[in-house]
Structure formats: structure tokens, C-alpha cells
Amino acid sequence: MLKKILKWTGITLLVIIIALAVAPFIFKDKIKAMIVKAINEKVDATVAFEDVNLSLFKHFPQASVNIEKLSIINKAPFAGDTLVYMGEIDLNMSVKELFKSEGETMALQSISTKNGVVNILFNKDGVGNFDIAIKDDSEKPASAEASKPFALSIQNYEVENLKFRYHDDRSKINMVIDSLNHKGTGNFAANKLDLDTHTTAKLTLDMDKTNYMRNVALKLDAVLGLDLDKSIYTFKENKAFINQLPLEFDGSMALLEAGQQIDMTFKTPTSSFKNFLGLVPESYSGSLANVKTEGDFTINGKVNGLNSDNSVPKFNIAIASNNASFKYPDLPKSVQNIVIDTKIINETGVLNDTYVNLDKLSFRIDQDVFDAKANIKNLTENPLVDARLKGTVNLSNVAKAYPVKLDMPLTGILKADVETKFDMKSVETGAYEKIQNNGTMSLSGFNYKADGFAQPFVISQADVAFNPSRITLSRFDAKTGSSDIAINGTLDNFYGFVFKDQTLQGKFNMSSNKLVVSDFMAQEAKTTTTKKTEGGETTTTTKTTTKSDAVKIPAFLDCTINAKANTVVYDNLNLTNVSGTMIIKDEAVALQNVKTNVFGGTIGFAGNVSTKGTTPKFNMDLNLNSLDITQSFTQLEMLKSIAPIAGVINGKMNSNIKLSGNLDSKEMTPDLKSLIGDLAGSLAGTTINTQNSKVLTALTSNVKFLDPSKLNLNQKINLSFADGKVNIKPFALKYQDIDINIQGTHGFDQNMNYNVAFDVPAKYLGSEVTNLIASLKGADASKISVPVNAVLSGNFKSPKVTTDLTKSVTSLTQQLIKQQKDKYVNDAKDKGKDLLNGLLNGNKPATTPADTTKAKAPVKTEDKVKEGLKNLLGGKKKKE
């Protein structure tokens, strides 16, 4: 009997398991069709999802429907914008709901989402992208019927990792709630219920390009009373945190056709000054558990009224502290005599009537007291600001009283005594005559290690003067590494830069005794890697890298700098007496009238550098005057690539170079493959050191009559470069009485292709050739020259030289044959004339066997010439 029971029990369980496994395949299409129908009947938007899955195991005994990658894309006027995206949506229901017939409503018991994004947008016309509901029957699909595929009998719901964005083009408000995790429990089947909720999120808020909150941590545990019939939501039990600041809410909100009716109060549950420190994110304020505080800090607020398109609720928020202090247990100093008196008030319900009164903000560290006060009115239309700062802050005491995380401690004394009064329209329009400024601010002994600087940055003294028309930087003396700079000048748009994200305009004079460029570059980092070989030996490799991102000229700068420096050290170059003007604007630097002494001469240049695009670009004109050729073409990588052979030339060079191209985004050095330009120059007082050039050594080994050290190079040279190649325009040289013509190309990769043409007089071809020519009757060696062509290929480190020796032999032979033929013809003509004259005069010619001319004499002459040239240009060597 027991065996039968176990048998049938096992069979029953097996059937149930099989049924649970097979059911998803049976009901999947049904569920999918219901979801599509539910969406299409409700929204006018482009809706898509990747797949719908049904599981009877995931939340057994409930059925679980999983929707993957659901997206809702807006139509006009927000066409293409994503309204909602959900990575996952889980719908849970009773298994029996699956067996309902078509048209019957399925009751959902819980909903959860993961990795979602919601974008709520308002355009300039006040139209929102969320209004996608189908408004009347004419907009519904023709096949649609009045139905409710799903009913909400929800007991709980959960949202995991949601990003909510709200952006309004009219009010220029941008709010982002990120990393939102929220869950609630309640019986949504009832019209009145208590919803128990738990929420965490991070809030960022910007208004009109001004940031008010940045990743503020929010936490709310609250019980909300929901009256779904009257759309009234009441805060009952709640505990909220803004960063570490605790707040309690009390009141209600009702949804009306005209907007939301809000009646709410909030306050801090205690008056401890720790409440103030709790406003600061924990990553900056540290743990508050053991912080000793005295005095109080309270926030009290009341909000009452209608929030609609035309009004805001009236509100009164008071933030106060009187004679408070705090001290961290691990720090030596405390902050004392803290007074805060701030009110944010709206008494009319009109947003522009909101005003902020910071009646007093004061604190003391040791004997240094700092006071501030400010009033802001006309908040949304044209804010009016009236503020004053006065006091002294010893920056070294800040880290001793508050847990500021710095790579190195701050030092320096900040003093301020400034009054300012202005309105934002005057800032926007540059109406500086309406801005009232008065006072001074100074910073001395400031020492800070900033990102991007290899050495600490030390400001010995900086003085700023405020007056109604502008802000004057009367003094700025600073050092970093072995560099020093002194700056003075004026700022013409400081408030536009600070409050309205406008460009920072100004004119400055900068001077320096020594400026080392590497002091302003990112510090190098060394990494060591250890590896073991197969034989068990250990090898260590050290790699040096530079911590630097792509260099970008700031877009907010619009200024002119007149600069002078006695010495500028750039890489291995020492520039002296540097002067010029830099105009920084639109992410570019224009250089004007820049001059410097280097390589025994001067360089003047003008042009521009731009980092506006993805690839930095430059365009430059250089004027090189009396520069030492060897130093210039061996120490400047760009010139070395343009004319590598110039490194063996001693002397001076004058030239004009026009070039443009791309720059390396990190090192800001020219990308040689992108260079386009030309060089026109002249050489003076030149000599050549052939021992330093493999090209000249190879050439002279093939053309023995040439001694490059005796070449006269004092002449003009023109070349152009593009696509990684340099083209040398044809130019002539004179070596004694040998004419030389040179032309060709080489690449920045050092590969070359040059033609060198020599017009060589016969006398340079050695004694055998000159004797041969002398043996020929009537041959004039001074009038005979031989063209010799040399082709230079390979590269500058491993050159190849070939010459056309055969052509040279043939050319010389033809010249000699022609001279001999001309000689014989002329002799025959003369003898014929003499014979004719003798016959006419009665004389008989005397015939002598010795006078007979051998017909093959010219051929022997040609053979002798060929033999002589072969001995000289490639055959047996003659003795000197």
C-alpha cells in the first residue's frame, strides 16, 4: 500500500513539475498579446520590447511575467526622445489568472523594475513629453475595444536603480535623481490605504547653469496615507535624511485639476549643531559620531498653497544658528563663534517674488574672523544681488579644524574686504557702469599641489582690487619648480564668468626670469614589472608614463597676454630673450610678434594653435635669422626631419618657413605625417664635415673627383613638404669648374630618392685620360667635359649610390671621334686645295708609301678612350 502511495505521489509530483515547465510555452503568447494590447490602447508613442518570458518557478506559487528591455519613444514634437526605458519589468500574479479566458482581467499582485530611465521634458512652449495617452476614441486603433487586460491588486512594488531626469527649457531647471531605489507595501485594491515606503537616491539640481546640489544623498522612510478617491496623500510617520541632516515632514498634498494643493511643514527633530555638519556629504565631513558641538542649528519650514502653471505655494524657510562651535576629536583646532541667520521667503505665490536674506554668516578659527552677508531679490526675472565679504582666513588652519582630504596641506593667508551690488541683466549685457564694486582681496604664502603640475604651486603674493568698472589684478607673483611668473592686468567680465557661464575676458602682462615648460606638465609615473623566465631568472622592467589627458585650451578664456621671459626651457632647448603676444579665444591661441634668441641667432614666428576639434591643429610662419645650422637641424626634431643632411653643415642659415598640420593631443608636438608647407632660405659661411654623413661618404666613394668639403654652399635653397615627403626644388652648385645640379625627394621616414648631375671637365678624369687626349692630333682637353649622373636611394642611415659610367664613356668617346673626324676632313680639304693649286701651276704630286693613312686609326682612338675611362671610373686603379 505504501509503495502505491509513494508511486502515485511521485507520478503526481512529476506531472506537476512537467506542467509547470510546459506552461510558460503554452501561456507565453497569450501574455505577450495582452501586454501589446494594454499598451496600444493607452499610449500614442513608439513602444518596443525585446521579449516576454513566463516562469512558474521564480516566485512559486505565483506566476512571474518578465518583460525585457521595454522602451517608449516619443513622437512629435519630441520625436526620437526616450520617455521610458526599463531593463526589466517583473509582473507577479496568481497561477489561476493564467487560465482566464480572453477578455477577462488578470489581477497583478506585485510589480518590480530594474535599471530604468525616465526622462520628463518640457520644451520652450511649455509642452511636456509625458502626455502620450490616447485622448479620444478617434485616436485608438480601429480594432481596439474597451477592455482592461490587467487589474491592480498590488500588495507590494519595487523600483531598483532608476534614473529620473526632469528638464524644463522655460525655467532652465535641470534635475536628476540618480540611483533611485524605492519599494512600497500596501493594499492597492482598497481606495484608502497606508503605503509603507523606503527610498534612497542621489539628487543633482541646476537652475540657469548654476549648480545648487551635486549628488546630494537622500533617504526617506515614510508611511503615506492614500485616499485614492479624493487624490489626497498624507505624510504620517516619516524620517528623512539630506546627506546626514535629519528632517521630519507633516502635512498633505492633494491632486487637483489646476495643480497640486500643498500644506506641509518640516523641521529638524533636534537642534544640535551636528545638523549643520550633516548637510555636507559624508565623504567630505567624515563621521559625526564623536564630533563635539556646542550651540544649535535648526531648519524650520512651511509650505502652503497651490502649485500650478501660474503660481507656486507660499513658503517660509528659516535656517539659524547662534554662537555655535564644533571640534573633531582627531584635529587640533576648532571652529567657534558660528552664527547663521538665513531666510528663504515667498509671501505672494509668485515665483519672482522669492527672496533670500543671508543676514549673517560668521565664524572664527583661532584669532581669524570671517563675516559675510548677502541679499538676493527678484529671483527669476532679473536677480538683484547685494553682498559683502570681510575677514581673514588662515588656510593652513582649515585642514586643522575640518577633515579636508588634500594631497598636501594648504598654506597661505586669505584676506577680503569686498562689497558688491549688481543685477544679472547688467552682467549679461556687459553694462559694467551699473555694477557697484568696492574693496580688495589678497592671498599670500599660498602653497598647493594641483593636478597637472609636476611641482607644488606657490603664490607668494596676489592682490585684487575691485572698482565699479572692472576688477584689477594688480599683483600676482608665483613659483613652481624652478619657474617664476609675475602677472598683472584687468578682468572685464568676471561676474559674467562666475554667474552666467560667459567667457572670462581680460588683458594681462606676464614676465618671468626663468620658465621651465616641464614644470607645468603632468608628473611622470614609473611602473615596475617583474617576470620570471623559463630558466628561473628574474627580469625587471621599468616603464615611465606621463599622467596627462589631451591638452585643451579652455573655452572660457578670451584674453590677451603680453609676455616676456629672460629664459624659457623647453625640452632640451634654452630660449633667451623671449617676447611676444598671445591672444586666447575660442579654444585657440594666436601668437603675434614672438621673438627669441637661440642657436646663435634669432627666431621670429607668428601663427595660431587650435584645440577646438578632436585633433589639435596649428598654422605657423617662422623667420630664422643667422641660426647655427648644425644646432638647428640636430636639436629641432621637425627641422631634422625636413633636412636631415643639414646636420653635417657648419655655418649660418637665414630662412622663412611656412607650415601647418596636426598636433599630438597630449604632448602638443607636430605630427610629421600631417605637415604641409615650404622653406625658402640661404646659407652663409658654410663648410661640410663629410665624416658625419653616410650619404656623402657613399657618394665620394663612387665619384672620386668630388671633395664635398670644398663645395660652395652659399646660395638659396627652396623646398616644400606634404604627405610625409620633402621635395627639394632643383638648385645648382659650383665645385671648382664642375657644375653640379641637385633635385629629388625624401620622406620623414628618412627614405630618399635624389639625382645629382655633374658636368665634369676631362682634366679631372686622371692622367691616363688626359694623356690619351693629348696623343690625339688636335684634341683640346680644356673643351671636353663628361656628364656624370649619380642616383641616391635607400635612407640616410643606409644609403645606396649608383652612377651611369657607361653613358659617361660613350659621351666622351663620341666627343673625341667627332673632333678627330672634323680634323681629318679639314686636313683633306687643305691637301686637296694644295694639290689642285700644284696641278694648275704644272707641279706633279709626289706619292710616298709613308703618306698612306690607315683607315682604322679612329677605331683605335675610341678603344683607347674607353680603356682610359674604365681605368678611372671602375677599372684598374691608377697610381697617384
Decide if pLDDT at 21 tops 50. Answer: no
Residue of 486 and 613 predicted with greater confidence: 486
pLDDT in tens, 391-411: 999 988 988 898 877 767 788
Decide if pLDDT at 879 tops 70. Answer: no
Supply the pLDDT for residue 474. 92
Burial bucket for residue 378 (CB in 10 Å: 0-12, 13-18, 19+): middle
**pLDDT band (50, 70, 90) for residue 23:** very low
Torsion of CA 305, 306, 307, 312, to 10 degrees: -50
**pLDDT band (50, 70, 90) for residue 2:** very low
Average pLDDT over residues 420-436: 82
Supply the pLDDT for residue 265. 93
User: What percentage of residues in the chain have a pLDDT greater than 90?
Assistant: 23
What would you measure as the largest C-alpha separation in the chain, in angstroms? 169
Provide the residue ranges of all domains of the chain, joining segments of one domain with +.
27-132+150-207, 243-405
Average pLDDT over residues 363-370: 93
Torsion of CA 31, 36, 39, 44, to 10 degrees: 180
132-138, long-range: CB < 8 A, 24+ apart: 132/43, 132/44, 132/45, 132/72, 132/74, 132/75, 132/83, 133/42, 133/43, 133/44, 134/41, 134/42, 134/43, 134/44
Average pLDDT over residues 249-256: 89
In whole angstroms, give the CA distance from residue 659 to residue 608.
Answer: 11
Q: Are 796 and 644 in contact (CB under 8 A)?
A: yes
DSSP collapsed to 3 states, 839-868:
HHCCCCCCCCHHHCCCCCHHHHHHHHHHHH
Collect all residues with Cβ–Cβ distance below 8 Å to 145 and sequence separation of at least 6: none
pLDDT in tens, 676-691: 999 898 888 777 877 7
Angle at 154 between CA 149 and CA 160, to 5 degrees: 105
pLDDT in tens, 751-795: 889 898 888 887 776 666 666 666 665 566 666 777 888 898 988
pLDDT in tens, 223-235: 989 888 888 989 8
pLDDT in tens, 86-102: 888 888 877 666 656 55
Supply the pLDDT for residue 71. 84
CA 27 to chain centre: 53
Q: Between helices 857-873 and 767-775, what is the axis angle to 10°?
A: 170
Supply the pLDDT for residue 703. 80
| Residue the block writes with cell 489646476 | 258
